[in-house]
Amino acid sequence: MATRRPGWPGLAIVVVLVLTGVSAALFLRGKSAGSAAPLAAAPPATGEPTGATLDPTPTAPPSVPASAAPSGPPGASPSPTRAAPPVRFTTRPPGAALPSGAQCAAWVRAKHLPENKGANKRANQTTGHSIGGSFFTGDDPRANSRIAPRVDGQFTGTTREILRWAACKWGVDEDLVMAQAAIESWWLQGNLGDWTSDASRCAPGRGLGVDGRPGQCPESFGILQNRYPYEKAGWPGIASSTAMNADLGYAIWRTCFEGYEGWLNQVERGRDYAAGDLWGCVGRWFSGRWHVPEGETYVGRVRDYVNQRIWETANFQQP
């Protein structure tokens, strides 16, 4: 297991966040790239990425027939249609209407994919729950009016099916989802990370020492390593349900991608935050900042896993 970078916010940054009015270090990761994955089992990244195979420019999935394309504002939930399912799910641009969870479930289940992570069996058959209408505490109310109400974790299936469902529901390229989940947990929903000795940051029932490390508890849980202190409304689903973990993780990504996180321009950054930056929002998941070096390194690793299609390699299969 790679040595973790110290918790990123630090006292000085916390003070800055308070002074600028940014709330509670919104969903900040503070993890070293790939530190949640069992690195002994995971093949290492092979040098610098040569450019990911997925197109970083957001486009609507060309394989979705016009009759099946949902309409309405972001967050709209049209009823499932009988249109042919997309061959693959790609990135939908900011402002695009998104398919409902039910529509995505119908499309994903039209093509069964076998289980390759047997350890997830129980979590894959556990559904999630609502997070309410006040989950996002940033500066744009559209995050709570358009994104939060859609989160429910209401899907069961194999691990890859669940990740495809989340990609469909939130309009993000499925290859990116597969690769990022591999970086975060090697697709293992039971993975724990970001250990702390601060009891105030422990999840309910997961106090210091409960998970096998004396004097410590994990802050991060599941296939995307969702971090409890910043996602309390997602508890216990982010730990018990693979679908809930992925659903909330990519709801946060979509919130960033839509341009609803203006607070990123009030803290340290490598460039000004703006909507529609797919990779910027991937880096923000890791670093809690916009195009900073730590986030860029993380993005490079995700791109490399996309290029390798790591989830299809022999060493990745643990049925």
Query: What sign for the dihedral angle of Cα 185, 188, 189, 195?
Result: negative
pLDDT, averaged in runs of 10, over the chain (319 residues): 32 32 40 33 30 39 34 48 85 98 98 97 98 93 98 98 98 98 98 98 98 98 98 98 98 98 97 98 98 98 98 98
Cβ proximity of 291 and 269 under 8 Å? yes
Residue 82's pLDDT is: 67
Protein fold of 93-316:
Lysozyme (1.10.530)
Residue 83's pLDDT is: 72
pTM of the complete model: 0.79
